[in-house]
């Protein structure tokens, strides 16, 4: 595998007529919606046990997305071989990504999952170069590395505790990270071929069906006495805001921009989350935030210029 100089244009980064200046506000908006997932989920998980929470989230999102997909006109039918790929995406995103994430979080130290998920652009980078044949450029390697360092600075301050007792949980969360990275890369060609809404809808629907027996059991056994409106609103936000809107918009963006360039933007999520916490919760960021944010933005700029 060789590194291509920046002057070689073997593969377009953007769809004809759509540039980064046009897409940048959409990318930042999508990342903002996604960044809100973590604080909003905290409210829901304070009243729901994780697997019941996940069951309602994905049932609601799958029903909404399939309903939208069924009532939209589409230019081409999905080929039989691609149905199996979409079902595979469903298995990756829900039983593997979501279940392993919740399971791993319960077995590892606070903050470990956030740090591990900050490595997502690295895995997307590797998979995109191998599977999608995206260009391997020095500035992207350097920019992605700098952005990763900044993201790790932001999310790891005081959050990492070293010990073998966290090893199993960290490994399980890392499987979840690899699943999410695979979902991004393997789903890109399908989204380009059939559209973001259809691919997201049928992937989530198939994954929800696989998860349903276990999730339904947990939902029936769960004691709802402690639930409240805030908890249900949290479920709705993750179902509609994240699974329906953010997942679909991400696949739409993947149709316009390379997976590598888009993935590096996920490192700005800790920056967004901290800014939101300042305005909503009054949490004042420390010096480490400003340093980490500057490093993240430097890496993003190097990658995107």
Entry pTM: 0.80
When pLDDT is averaged across residues 94-104 and rounded to a whole number, the result is 86
Task: Indicate if the pLDDT at residue 96 is higher than 90.
Answer: yes
Which pLDDT score is estimated for 304? 57
How many angstroms separate the Cα of 260 from the Cα of each of 20, 63, 88, 147, 177? 14, 31, 22, 13, 16
**What's the structural domain count of the chain?**
1
Tokens found for residue 25: 């506000």
User: 210 near 95, Cβ under 8 Å?
Assistant: yes
Query: CB under 8 Å to 79, separation ≥6 — which residues?
Result: none
User: 127 near 189, Cβ under 8 Å?
Assistant: no
With respect to residue 199, please indicate whether it lies within any of the assigned structural domains. yes
Which pLDDT score is estimated for 239? 94
With respect to residue 135, please indicate whether it lies within any of the assigned structural domains. yes
Q: pLDDT grade, residue 188 (50/70/90)?
A: very high
With respect to residue 134, please indicate whether it lies within any of the assigned structural domains. yes
How many angstroms separate the Cα of 106 from the Cα of each of 47, 51, 110, 122, 138? 16, 12, 9, 25, 38
- Higher pLDDT residue, 265 or 10? 265
Residue positions counted in the chain? 305
With respect to residue 10, please indicate whether it lies within any of the assigned structural domains. no
HSE of 30, CA atoms in CB hemisphere, 13 A: 22
Domain extent at residue 82 = 20-304
With respect to residue 15, please indicate whether it lies within any of the assigned structural domains. no
Closest to 16 measured CA to CA, from 184, 257, 185, 203:
257
- Higher pLDDT residue, 297 or 196? 196
With respect to residue 7, please indicate whether it lies within any of the assigned structural domains. no
Task: Indicate if the pLDDT at residue 3 is higher than 70.
Answer: no
With respect to residue 9, please indicate whether it lies within any of the assigned structural domains. no
Closest to 200 measured CA to CA, from 137, 237, 232, 246:
246
When pLDDT is averaged across residues 279-290 and rounded to a whole number, the result is 66
Q: pLDDT grade, residue 81 (50/70/90)?
A: very high
Task: Indicate if the pLDDT at residue 15 is higher than 70.
Answer: no
The DSSP 8-state label assigned to residue 98 in this structure reads I
Q: Tell me the longest C-alpha to C-alpha distance in the chain.
A: 62
Tokens found for residue 220: 């029936």
Q: pLDDT grade, residue 62 (50/70/90)?
A: very high
Report d(CA 125, CA 241) in Å as an integer. 26
> Which range (72-86, 129-143, 236-250) has the least confidence?
129-143
Element (H, E) at 257: none
Which pLDDT score is estimated for 16? 47
**Alpha helices, DSSP H only, in 195-286?**
196-221, 229-236, 247-256, 259-263, 269-281
With respect to residue 186, please indicate whether it lies within any of the assigned structural domains. yes
Which pLDDT score is estimated for 282? 66
The mean pLDDT value of the chain amounts to: 81
- Higher pLDDT residue, 244 or 1? 244
Task: Indicate if the pLDDT at residue 284 is higher than 70.
Answer: no
């Amino acid at each position: 595998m060789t590194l291509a100089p920046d002057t070689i244009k073997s593969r377009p980064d953007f769809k004809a007529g759509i540039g980064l200046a046009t897409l940048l506000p959409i990318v930042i908006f999508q990342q903002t919606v996604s960044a809100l997932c973590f604080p909003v989920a905290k409210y829901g998980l304070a009243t729901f046990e994780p697997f019941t929470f996940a069951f309602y989230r994905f049932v609601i999102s799958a029903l909404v997305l399939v309903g939208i997909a069924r009532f939209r006109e589409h230019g081409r039918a999905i080929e039989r071989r691609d149905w199996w790929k979409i079902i595979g995406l469903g298995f990756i995103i829900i039983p593997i990504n979501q279940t392993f994430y919740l399971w791993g979080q319960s077995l590892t130290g606070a903050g470990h999952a956030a740090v591990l998920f900050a490595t997502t652009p690295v895995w997307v980078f590797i998979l995109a170069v191998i599977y999608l044949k995206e260009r391997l450029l020095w500035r992207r390697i350097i920019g992605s590395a700098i952005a990763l360092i900044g993201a790790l600075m932001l999310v790891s301050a005081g959050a990492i505790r070293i010990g073998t007792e966290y090893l199993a949980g960290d490994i399980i969360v890392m499987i979840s990270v690899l699943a999410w990275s695979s979902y991004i890369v393997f789903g890109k060609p399908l989204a380009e071929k059939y559209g973001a809404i259809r691919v997201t809808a049928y992937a989530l629907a198939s994954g929800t069906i696989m998860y349903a027996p276990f999730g339904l059991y947990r939902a029936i056994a769960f004691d709802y006495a402690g639930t409240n409106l805030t908890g249900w609103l949290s479920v709705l936000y993750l179902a509609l805001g994240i699974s329906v809107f953010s997942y679909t918009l991400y696949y739409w963006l993947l149709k316009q921009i390379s997976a590598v360039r888009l993935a590096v933007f996920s490192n700005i999520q800790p920056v967004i989350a901290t800014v939101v916490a300042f305005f909503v919760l009054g949490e004042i960021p420390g010096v480490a935030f400003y340093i980490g944010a500057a490093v993240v933005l430097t890496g993003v700029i190097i990658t995107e210029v």
